[in-house]
Amino acid sequence: MEIVAILAACPEGDLDGNCRVDSNDVKFLAGRWLDGPGSPADIIGSDGVNWGDFTIIAANWGAAGEPTGLSAGDNLAVDQTPSP
């Protein structure tokens, strides 16, 4: 039996793993604000959680990808709404 790994196509800035960049990701980042390098909210720079990481969320606000860890009841629609 061959097992094929499928990579998630989630946008950068998705911190909570739902493949959308939204207010939940801001809450996630805020809860880890000023954490050191290696924090799950340290998106860029490996320099701790700071404004640089927030700018990634802001730049990708509203972006959505296609999660791979699907389960019954998940919404499979991909948001095509352009970011403001």
Q: Cβ 2 to Ca ion, closest distance in Å?
A: 31
Contact between 18 and Ca ion by CB under 5 A: the answer reads yes
Binding mask 19-38 for Ca ion (x = CB under 5 A): -x----x-------------
Cα–Cα distance measured from residue 65 to residue 67, given in angstroms and rounded to the nearest whole number: 6
Contact between 53 and Ca ion by CB under 5 A: the answer reads no
Q: Cβ 26 to Ca ion, closest distance in Å?
A: 9
**Residue 75: how many other CB atoms lie within 10 Å:** 10
Q: Two tokens at 56? A: 């990634």
8 Å CB contact between 13 and 83: no
